[in-house]
Amino acid sequence: MILFESDIEQTTLELLRDENGYAIAFGPDLLDGFAPERVYNEVILKGRLKSAIDRLNPHIPISAREEAFKKILRTESLTLIDNNQAFHRYLTEGVDVKFGVGEGKSRTDKVWLIDFKHPENNDFLAVNQYTVVENNVNKRPDIVLFINGLPLVVIELKNAADENADLQAAFRQLQTYHQQIPSLFKYTAFEVISDGWFAKAGTLTSDYSRFMEWKSVDGVKVVDSKLEAELEPLVRGLLINARFWM
């Protein structure tokens, strides 16, 4: 049986939906209809992010929530790595905001982008064929995973039947994306590469040797790569929405 890259993509999406609780969307559909969620040069799903900020931070004044939202969109540095690190601090430590509390007094508090303690309060979405246009360059990563509208994981897939489309080819494709559509990677927590059988995960700054396998769903049974594909345990073990940030 010959598997095409589109088959691997569909299998991954089905695992994310059926095993991990993600909603699934086709990239072009987010651009269509009476209320499109984005335009090609935007990488965040702004409506979902705003809704999450409001939902998770009801005690914060609206003006301060809006300021936190603007901070997320703002580019802090000229380098992609510095921007990614700055966003990661917002993601893990909260966004500091200052607001008035009456009688000339002010208070500093945090706006949270993700509910780490209660995963069910977050919005999980997997999007395939997510086209991004930046500086007149058009690129389309295979699958992007969003939490509360933030593109936190990019998955690049290749076809194991093609000897020229192996894991290293998927890794090289990600490096091209870093150069040509860097706005997407300001927000990524990590990246996944797979040829449908072998699968590895790394971060923005990982070289190929630092991309690592994830061979267990439950932390007990480990997949033998000679007999079983690594992609399913990586998706089910690493990307499950209840475990993603634990």
Would you kindly state where each structural domain of the chain is located, as residue ranges?
A: 5-44+118-238, 46-111
Give me the pLDDT at residue 1, please.
44
Q: What is the pLDDT of residue 197?
A: 84
Q: Which DSSP string do the residues of the chain spell out, in sequence order?
A: -PPPHHHHHHHHHHHHHHTT--EEEEGGGGG-SSS-S--TT--S-HHHHHHHHHHH-TTS-HHHHHHHHHHHHS---SSHHHHHHHHHHHHHH-EEEEEEEETTEEEEEEE-SS-SS-GGGS-EEEEES--EEETTEEE--SEEEEETTEEEEEEEE--TTSTTSSHHHHHHHHHHHHHH-HHHHTS-SEEEEESSSSEEEE-TT--GGG-B----SSSSS---TTTS-SHHHHHHHHS-TTTTT-
What whole-number distance in Å separates Cα of residue 84 and Cα of residue 87? 5
What's the mean pLDDT in 124-146?
Answer: 95
Do the bridges between strand 95-102 and strand 105-111 make them parallel or antiparallel, or are there none, so unpaired?
A: antiparallel
Q: What is the mean pLDDT of the chain?
A: 88
Task: Give percent of the chain above pLDDT 70.
Answer: 91
pLDDT of 160 > 80? The answer is: no
14 versus 7: the higher-pLDDT residue is 14
- Looking at the predicted structure, is the pLDDT value of residue 222 above 90? no
Count CB-CB contacts under 10 A for residue 106: 9
Position 233 confidence tier, pLDDT thresholds 50, 70, 90: confident
Chain-centre distance for alpha carbon 198: 20
Is there a contact between 40 and 133 (Cβ–Cβ < 8 Å)?
Answer: yes
Across 20-47, average pLDDT: 90
Token pair of 4, please?
Answer: 């095409």
**Which pLDDT band holds residue 78 (cuts at 50, 70, 90)?**
confident
Q: What's residue 77's pLDDT?
A: 82
Say yes or no to pLDDT of 218 above 90: no
Fold of 5-44+118-238: tt1808, chain A (3.90.1570)
pLDDT at 2 over 50: no
